[in-house]
Amino acid sequence: MINSPDHNKRHLDRRRFIGSGLKITLLAGLISPLEQACNTNTKNTDKKKTQDKSTTTQKTKRRKWTAEKLLINAKTNVVHLPTASFYVYYDEIKNATNVNAADWEKQISGQIRFNKERSGTILEILSLQKLQNGVNDNSLNSAISTLALAFGKDCENAKGLNLNIKNYRLHELMLQLIVLNNYTPFKWKTFNDMVRKPEKLGKRQSWMADENSFNQRVKYIQERESEYKSRLSKRASKYILT
C-alpha cells in the first residue's frame, strides 16, 4: 500500500518535532549547570565586594581630632592650629609641644615655621586674637602686622609659591583692618605694601584692582564703622586659644 504524500509529510513533521524537542532538552541540560555556576560566581563576587568595601571603610575611617591651641611638631618644627572652627578632621600631632598664644611671636623663630598650606588660617586667627580686648587703633595696628605675615616669604612652599595670595578672605580682612585704623592715612599704599594680589581678580575682588575702586570700598566701610567694628569683635570672640 502506497502512502499518500500528505501522510508522508505528517510523518516527517512528527520526526522533526521529536528531534527538535530532544535537542532543546539536551541544550537545556547543558545550560542549566552553566547558569547555576554563573549565578553562584556572581553572588560570591558581590559578597566579596561587600566584604572588601566594609574592610576598606574600617581601614579608612578617620578619628575626629582637633585642638584649640597652637602646637609645634617637635620632629618637624612646624606650627599647627587644628581648630574645630575650620577643621572636622586633623591628623593628630603626637610629638607636640604647646605654644602660648599670648606671646607666640617670641616662640616662633629660627627653624620653627608655620604649616604652609594652613598658614593663612593660622595667621587669620592670630591676627583676630589681637582684637580680643577691643577694636581700637592699637589693636588694629597689631592685627595688620600679624596678618601681613601670611603674604610673606615664610609662608611660601617648597616650590616658592604662597597659596595665601589667592585667599581673598585674607585680603578682605586686611582691608577692614586698614580702613578702621586711624593710624594709616594712606590706605591704598598701606594695603598694597601689606598684601600680595593674584594676577587675575574675580568680580567680587575687583575692589582691589585700582585705587578708585579701592577708595569706594573704603568709603562704604567708613560709613558703617561701628557695624564693621562689631563684626570684627564677634569674629575675634569665636577663636579663644589656650
Helix (H) or strand (E) holding 211: helix 211-222
Q: How confident is the model over 202-219, as a mean pLDDT?
A: 96
pLDDT higher than threshold 80 for residue 3: no
Q: In what order do the strands lie in the sheet with 70-73?
A: 96-99, 70-73, 78-80, 113-114
pLDDT of 123-162, one tens digit each?
A: 999 999 999 999 999 999 999 999 999 999 989 988 889 9
Let me know if 21 is exposed, middle or buried by CB neighbors in 10 A (0-12, 13-18, 19+). Answer: exposed
Of 93 and 43, the structure prediction assigns the larger pLDDT to 93
212-238 average pLDDT score: 97
Whose CA is closest to 137, among 88, 80, 91, 179? Answer: 179
Q: How confident is the model at residue 23 (pLDDT cuts 50, 70, 90)?
A: low
The whole-number average pLDDT for the span 63-68 is 86
Q: DSSP characters for 45-111? A: HHHHHHHHHHHHHHHHPPPP---SSEEEETTTTEEE---TTT-S-----SSEEEE-GGGHHHHS-TT
- For 171, list phi and psi in degrees, rounded to 5: -60, -45
- pLDDT exceeds cutoff 60 at 11: no
Does position 57 have pLDDT exceeding 70, yes or no? no
Say which residue, 147 or 53, is predicted with more confidence: 147
Whether the per-residue pLDDT at 209 is higher than 80: the answer is yes
Which of 53-57, 61-65, 84-88, 184-188 has the highest average model confidence (pLDDT)? Answer: 184-188
Residue with cell 575611617: 61
pLDDT number for residue 155: 92
DSSP 8-state symbol, 207: G
Judging by beta carbons within 10 Å of its beta carbon (0-12, 13-18, 19+), is residue 237 exposed, middle or buried? Answer: exposed
pLDDT single digits (tens) 73-114: 989 999 999 999 889 889 888 889 999 888 898 888 777 888
What distance, in Å, lies between the first and last C-alpha atoms of the chain?
Answer: 117
Residue identified by cell 587703633 is: 137
Q: What integer pLDDT is reported at residue 8 of this predicted model? A: 52
Going from the C-alpha of 43 to that of each of 37, 47, 122, the distances in angstroms are 10, 6, 51
| Residues paired with residue 70 on neighbouring β-strands, in sequence order | 99
